[in-house]
Amino acid sequence: MVIEQDSSPPAVDGEGQQQEQQPQQRRHKIPVPTNYRSASKILRLVVEERRNVKSLVLEDKHLRKGKGLAMMDLILVNLTQIKDLVRRTELLEKEPRLNPWLATVLVAELIFGRKELTGDSLPVQCVRRYREALQEALTTSEVAPAKQLDFKGTRVAFRLS
């Protein structure tokens, strides 16, 4: 690996002393966390190709099965609201390099999921910057929130007569 050094003369401070310059280091790209990347691929296949969520999550080598199914359920239940939030905040117009499927996953995790994003990759930082705008758009949203059914404590009484 060759690092090009600046050919400019050394910097001189006010007293005529030369200051040492550090060689400019390259910033390495921080990868998107695997669970977000895998979830965005699965979401694209589910929406565009109408494939089965459960089979895609179970086939994926990198996504944890329980977390993956829970995340995909959260995204698909709130998909209309997420699309409305992205449209209202103009996230994809202001950030054209952001993958729309990855943005959907990140917004779902930030607004409806854990309320925080892991990692410091560029897409994660980009969506974090829009946190307040997304929260504000959620409060003024006209799209009705999805109703999740919870069957945990439900009892069904049967009459055997």
The verdict on residue 144 lying in a domain is: no
The verdict on residue 15 lying in a domain is: no
The verdict on residue 83 lying in a domain is: yes
Angle at 50 between CA 49 and CA 56, to 5 degrees: 90
The verdict on residue 50 lying in a domain is: yes
- Give the count of domains, the chain: 1
Which pLDDT belongs to residue 22?
Answer: 58
Residue whose tokens read 């691929």: 41
The CA distance from 87 to 71, in Å, is 21
pLDDT in tens, the chain (161 residues): 555 555 555 555 556 565 555 556 656 788 999 999 999 999 999 999 999 999 999 999 888 888 899 999 999 999 999 999 999 999 999 999 999 999 999 999 999 999 999 999 999 999 999 999 999 999 988 877 666 655 555 555 566 65
Residue whose tokens read 């190709």: 49
* Strand, helix or coil for residue 104: helix
Which pLDDT belongs to residue 158?
Answer: 63
The CA distance from 36 to 103, in Å, is 9
pTM, whole model, 2 decimals? 0.73
The verdict on residue 113 lying in a domain is: yes
User: What residues make up the domain containing 123?
Assistant: 34-139
